[in-house]
Amino acid sequence: MRNILIINGPNLNMLGMREPDIYGTQTLSDIEEMCKDAAGSLGFEIDLRQSNHEGEIIDWLQQSKDAFDGLIINAAAYTHTSIAIHDALKLLDYPIIELHISDPKKRESFRHVSYIEPLARDVISGHGAKGYEMALKKLSEILN
């Protein structure tokens, strides 16, 4: 059994009611259920977390070092601003998948920069909530 950490950044606790035309109507709990289903068939155990606080995300990343086999991270707006999360990701030696529900590169120019991308094995964006399942499958390909 491999352990996969799924980190969600600020405002993703509001999925379902937050700009549904962009992010869809599924809540983070719906996404967690979907991930658990997908994880079961891939032989993964998942730990899905959400935080609105940059420092808490950095603590989780530091603590994950020897406890997980892979990471899916939707750092939300911190993707475009956080050199601190970039630095924390550099500590990790397991595969990292950057995930976005929307496609930030097709939105406002301030979303075009990603501090996660240089450290990610793959980027999945613009596939809606289904992207989480795609990211798990990608990790399974990388780890097997």
Catalytic residue set: 23, 100
What does the block give as tokens for 88? Answer: 């924390």
Residue 109 or 144: the one with the smaller Cβ distance to ligand DQA is 109
Indicate the helix (H) or strand (E) that contains 70: strand 70-74
What does the block give as tokens for 4? Answer: 């996969």
Q: How far is the CB of 123 from ligand DQA (least distance, A)?
A: 11
Per the document, the length of the chain is 144
Interface with ligand DQA, residue 100, by CB under 6 A: yes
Interface with ligand DQA, residue 102, by CB under 6 A: yes
> What gap in Å lies between CA 102 and CA 87, rounded to an integer?
24
Stretch that binds ligand DQA, among 43-51, 53-61, 72-80, 132-140 (CB under 6 A): 72-80
- Binds ligand DQA by CB under 6 A, chosen from 24, 70, 95, 104: 104
Q: How far is the CB of 2 from ligand DQA (least distance, A)?
A: 24
Kindly report the number of other CB atoms within 10 A of residue 93's CB atom.
Answer: 8
